[in-house]
């Protein structure tokens, strides 16, 4: 099924960080959309839960150097 989740992200300070997160998540199979909200310190993601998970997406953001926590 498709899910929408919010991932809280610490460590984003400029648009370059937003771009880094887009790059870090671009190849995740099953991730449909990611909206990185810099001033809210979060990203809203939609994905197919048969192919990926909020935890996997958060792990990719962590690998890019940010602190990412699934919020809901």
Q: Please pick, from the candidates 17, 38, 70, 71, the single residue that binds ligand 9UX as defined by CB under 6 A.
A: 17
13 counts as binding ligand 9UX under rule CB under 6 A: yes
Size of the site for ligand 9UX (CB under 6 A): 5
3-state secondary structure of 60: helix
Q: Which is nearer to ligand 9UX, 15 or 49 (CB)?
A: 15
**Is 7:69 a contact under the CB 8 Å cutoff?**
yes
> Least CB distance from residue 68 to ligand 9UX, whole Å?
13
Q: Please pick, from the candidates 3, 8, 20, 53, the single residue that binds ligand 9UX as defined by CB under 6 A.
A: 20
Please write down the HEC assignment for all residues of 24-59.
HHCCCCCEEEEEEEHHHCEEEEEEECCCCCHHHHHH
């Amino acid at each position: 099924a498709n899910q929408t989740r919010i991932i809280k992200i610490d460590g984003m300070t400029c648009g370059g960080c937003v771009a880094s997160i887009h790059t870090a998540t671009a190849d995740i199979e099953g991730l449909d959309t990611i909206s990185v909200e810099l001033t809210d310190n979060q990203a809203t993601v939609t994905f197919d839960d048969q192919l990926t998970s909020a935890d996997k997406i958060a792990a990719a953001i962590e690998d890019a150097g940010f602190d990412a926590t699934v919020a809901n």
